[in-house]
Chains A and B, each alone.
Chain A
Amino acid sequence: MTTGIKPVLSMREAVARYVPDGQELLIGGFAFSDPTALAHELIRQQRKRLFVMKTSGGVLVDQLVGAGCVERLLSCHVWNSVGPVAAHCFRRALERGKPNTIQIEELSYGSFTMSLFAGACDLPFMPTTPVQGTGHFTQRTFMPQKFGVVENPFGGGPVCVVPPLKPALGIFHVQRVDQFGNAQMFGPTGEMRYAMAACKKLIVIAEELVDTEVIRERPEATVAPGFMVEAVVIEPWAAHPTDAYGYYYRDLPHHALYGEMTKTEDGFRRYVDEWIVATGNHAGFIAKLGKERISELQIRKEGW
């Protein structure tokens, strides 16, 4: 963590420099602000054996799993929330080991939030609300210590606790950023503020690079002050097909198209070929979506 001007990288450079095979990586977004453009670039560069952490898995995690990029996954759910329909690649991996087996560890959204909060504050653990008796409390895979139970030192019975989660690297989508890395989000923020602070190294993918004077107009929207940010990627529409509050809506037809195409392994490969590989980069992906769709989804809000 440093102050000063931060490197502005292309998505290709960011992945090449920061995400080698086997990387432990927390990906931001909670079914909105999911940085799908990052997943596409990880697939283009054929990353393997990643340890992916993401609260809400969604289409983004489904693609990474389907493309064979993931070895371990920590999540609180993975689905295609339009319909809703199943995250087909996720199901194939866990039910049939296709294209490869993955190890999964699960937390509820609340306990994931508290684990990140403990990590963000560098606390030894955080109490959380009861999880005892649930499947995630008893089923433990690669994080056998994901929950503990302590006696309330102030009296009053058992308390469920979670350890601090400190991902080696976090990559998050935000609405805008300045050259110093001051990153702003608008709308709901889910667990994002605590998740960003929990990561040992933080990269933000922004819809736009703005002047610091613009950042100063809405200081309460800064979710990561520049000193927390290592590098910046500017990638418009990076969160498509999820939404970016104030910038664009969720793309329902594309979620449906993805759900339909990925019902079979062949269909998923076709999706990857057509929408990820052949497009070359995210600008190519957006060009393939077409101007008409883009203008339907775009939100224009003045005077943030």
Chain B
Amino acid sequence: MTVSATRFEQMFLTGARCIKDGAVLFVGFHWPMLMARIARRLHAPNIVIVYENGIVEDRLTPILPTSPCDLVSAEQATTCAGSLETLFMWLASGRVEMTLVEAAIVDRYGNINTTAVGPYLQPKVRLPGSGGGTELSSLGRDLLLVSASVNSRSYPERVDYITSPGYLGGGDERERLGYKPGTGPKTLVNPLGLFKYDANGEMYAAGLHAGITPAEVQSIFVWPIKVAADYTALPEPTAAELAIIREELAHAKKRYYLMPED
């Protein structure tokens, strides 16, 4: 009997597959942490994860942390340093090969808003703010954005506040302002599929999950998003893969993670 994955579960597989075994990763809070953990269990046991607070984790922690600063994250640490090391000596310097960051609200050019919806001084919805998100997006190489949302509000044409810079207004704006070449979002995964950025910094759909049509993608994004003519049909998880994803999601629930359906 085959049990098919939900789109949310499928997202973890698609994201995890972007992670190469042995890579040094900078992992931001929330779903990226679970995604990296799933990758470690599936095919990438040798990844080395850096968290902004100073922790270097090179093997599976017994307990899933609720955030990087939930110090069960340090239970297997090989290094406990500080933010000058993590953000500047390792991330800015290019020693970290891949960065994963959550993108709750993300626009056409990969700019992320985690600060405020509506006018900054009179926000309709006030969100937490940057934390290290600005640096993850400004400095991260092979930057992977993760969004569990399939709500149009999460994909505006232009975010109200750029917390974490993508390609800003598109074109060469990012480089002109002094951002290093090679930085900027490369990929986004969400329950619909896998997205890439074109030469102008605009996001387009490059691969879709089973059962997702280009029309459905276009109905969710606020701007007329392009879908590659030769988009990939992304592979579904095997029973063994899905079992691990579900085990980790159950673990997350026990650790007080709120699930999208909650």
Contacts and interface: CB of A to CB of B under 8 A. Distances in A.
Interface of A: 30-32, 56-57, 75-79, 81-87, 90-91, 94-95, 106-111, 113, 117, 129-136, 139, 141, 157-160, 186-194, 242-243, 245, 249-250, 252, 255-256
Nearest to A134: B162
Contact of A95 (B52, B126, B134, B163): B126
Nearest to B73: A188
A135 B118 CA distance: 13
A190 B163 contact: no
Contact of B66 (A77, A107, A189, A252): A252
A135 B71 contact: no
A95 B123 contact: yes
Given A78-B129, A134-B162, A242-B69, A187 B80 contact: yes
Interface stretch (B173-181, B204-212, B224-232): B173-181
In the A-B complex, the 10 residue pairs with the closest CB atoms: A108-B134, A188-B54, A31-B69, A77-B129, A79-B128, A135-B161, A110-B135, A81-B67, A109-B132, A132-B177
Candidate in A81, A82, A160, A194 with the most chain B CB atoms within 10 angstroms: A81
Contact of B74 (A30, A113, A134, A187): A187
B93 to A, nearest CB: 10
A28 B131 CA distance: 15
A75 B115 CA distance: 12
Candidate in A78, A134, A139, A188 with the most chain B CB atoms within 10 angstroms: A188
A160 B139 CA distance: 14
B71 A249 contact: yes
A77 B130 contact: yes
Nearest to B168: A133
Nearest to B120: A139
22 contacts: A77-B129, A81-B70, A83-B258, A94-B123, A106-B130, A107-B130, A108-B133, A109-B52, A109-B83, A109-B87, A117-B84, A129-B135, A134-B163, A141-B121, A187-B80, A188-B71, A189-B53, A190-B53, A190-B83, A191-B83, A192-B82, A250-B70
Q: How many interface residues does chain B have, given as a range?
A: 35 or more
Contacts of A249: 70-72
Contacts of B129: 57, 75-79, 106
Given A113-B83, A130-B138, 16 more contacts: A78-B129, A79-B128, A81-B67, A82-B256, A84-B30, A106-B129, A109-B130, A129-B139, A130-B177, A134-B138, A134-B162, A136-B134, A188-B71, A188-B80, A189-B82, A252-B256
Interface in B92-143: 92, 113-116, 120-126, 128-135, 138-139
B81 interface: yes
Contacts of A188: 51, 53-55, 71, 74, 77, 80-82
Contacts of A136: 115, 130, 134, 163
B71 A109 contact: no
Contact of B83 (A81, A110, A160, A243): A110
